Amino acid sequence: MLKEFKNFIMTGNVIEFAVAVIMAGAAGLVINGFVSDIVMPFVGHISGGMDFADLKMVLDPAVVGADGNEVSPENAVRYGSWINTIINLITVGFVMFLVVKAYNKTKKPVETAPSGPTQEELLIQIRDLLKK
């Protein structure tokens, strides 16, 4: 059983999958950093300096006791955070599109073998040979 496990772990597919997962995690960090540190400040600037994360609809306000301590927390729908998530999704999708498009440009085009004559062309050649 230990030998089977060793063979399983040492196969190329498992190693390649592990490398792919690690690279995807690293790429995810880079893209999320790009979105949060570079793109979102521009979005905030374009929207007049507004931070979407602060947008919310308060259902029940926080209750504060006479001693100044919060008795019950605020109950609110934080739709601004959701808007940030949607903007992040769209931006990450666009960046991934650009990365894949750039990668596809670096790949060599697959050369296909020249196809032979079609069935109709062969029949025409046979007909012409029979006429001679």
Q: Where are the domains of the chain?
A: 2-108
Rounded CA gap, 16 and 5, in Å?
A: 16
Asked whether 44 and 50 are in contact (CB, 8 A), the reply is yes
Digit-by-digit pLDDT tens for the chain (132 residues) are 888 877 777 776 777 788 888 988 888 888 888 877 887 788 778 877 777 778 889 898 888 888 888 888 889 998 988 888 888 788 878 878 888 888 888 887 777 767 778 888 889 999 999 988
Amino acid at 32: N
Rounded CA gap, 111 and 113, in Å?
A: 7
Q: What is the pTM of this model?
A: 0.52
Check: CATH 1.10.1200.120 for 2-108?
A: yes
